[in-house]
Structure 1
């Protein structure tokens, strides 16, 4: 069968890489793809948000399945369009995709469903937001931490964990008055700061049945020891010692299942990937946020450990037969490290020649491309997060060592990466 993957980042490269292993997949297209994806799929010059063009392409090629990577086309309604035309597609439709598109919607759904989460306030003006911040610091003291979140999509960068009232108010100013993320900051969520350690649980669901993937842990801050601004993700580890099977199942039953049931009660079943960002607290896992798609770079750490055929899982969700799919995992661990352009997550230049990928692969690593393109025979940078290297091992220590041996082989002007991905898990 023929399959289309929508997107062009490291997550989509991992999806293409895993789907290419299925004996039932004869041809993979990717829109728009990247230089690495082009080695395993035919790249199609269509934007992920050009929904009509993607639907026309899927119909013309008689595709058996379209798999959507990024959140923007899901929130824009690509699944609704495809389903209206009878085109098989993996992902939630527009209405339930609001669980990522609006943090206010997600928090209210958590509240009404009894999902454990932080206390929160939805604010529709800077004045209201500053008043909530002032009240919070009056109650909790000057040393308290508070979270300020943009309500809409901000590429994973719209969250500030403030350590002072001034920092929180500055975050409100950037989001609501400077509008650094446009209309995503028209509303903000002011939230209690949970204490514990963060982890991610991605699950595939057909609206009734849930198959949790191995838990993983993203590293959001740009610099070592979780310093610097938030990014789209600088690396990931899988599995996560702080989420053993019993706690993972607790999170499924207390967080993921109630969310899926609440969405079904609204009238449109949730089919696709539901990603829960959780904080493992002394009281158990609490939900920080939901995403409506696979994580990036979590996918690059999770899928290399999946023994089963990914296509079976995706079709099981689309065809509502997920209860008939058996899932097997490889033993061991995976560590993924992202190589970024100079200046990321701020402004950066592109077109820098990339060297050493074959040498990294010779170390036994998997190299997933994100912001890359070809200029003639030369591979060059074409984004903030350029590529990532996944190392595998019997445990996190071995996987971490392999990942760093591999990424040390790669170079481009201004390249930077964190050198502590996985270190907290060793502790």
Structure 2
């Protein structure tokens, strides 16, 4: 009965348009009232959920990503990608994917990538004769690559939610190859759709211009190398690396590129505070909701249900992927990580799935939800930036969905793609 109250209350609040954080909080409170548990416990669980040291990295990585966007690093990465891929048919689509992958390596945010690439490339694509829906579709799906290529603050949330101390360094390394694979599959689809639509070929700007663009982009790309190098060498932790990323980005933007002034700095700080507040509120509310699930033994019941159906690892992973894909269509990524990780991680570990591997599966799976209606936040951001109705973009996004789903299946059933790189550094 109480489990029904929890689930139904959540679904009703979401259907009424109540923000996800408040829907989770309202469902938890209704369940605690039904269980005759003091409501103060809800807020105690919220406080406990955000009082995790590793979560301190989230505001710093968000701040660093916003500073990189406002410092013009995105524009320099676009210039590099344009030199590398721009001469192919539909070259700006390939440029979009390549630049998104590189920007993901320094920002780790899908929304930041969609905003940066959208504002930089969408007007140019439209001027070159590309359809608006194509520009939006490439931009939003390519933004998902940033969730896999380190650093990714969602991996930090997963590590904290796992409860077993999954190594953030291993997660960062594990996302590199899957991120590259996903980017390549999206490039193939972007090229194929461009051929079918008859988009024109681009022109190679010349080696001198390309190498000059690469030279100017190197300081920005070095942020990812410094972060990963420091973590792997043991010089600093993942949390400390996030603060170092902020300091490094400020130096690069203000001293090297000279494009980061006081106004842009304060704008980035204000925006980062807003995003961090939303993320932490969602995490706190999801923690209270997850505590209610734990009291009702929902994780154990679901685990028993799945394992009683089958103990075949392939079937278990298929079932888990379907569950995550469905949930991702109507709930945002951060709360889903907090809620589903304690439930599903023990299930997949029972059939021999490595927690690092499962973390990468979850990143891409829930990332697909970010570009899927009705709660596809990255899809809505891309559509708004590109001034293209969501309905129009969704009608032609299916080839790109296919690429993401194919990448998900390959990453799910070829675990060495995720685990080989972490194993090399142990």
Instruction: Give the TM-score normalised by structure 1.
Output: 0.31
Larger helix percent: 2
Larger strand percent: 1
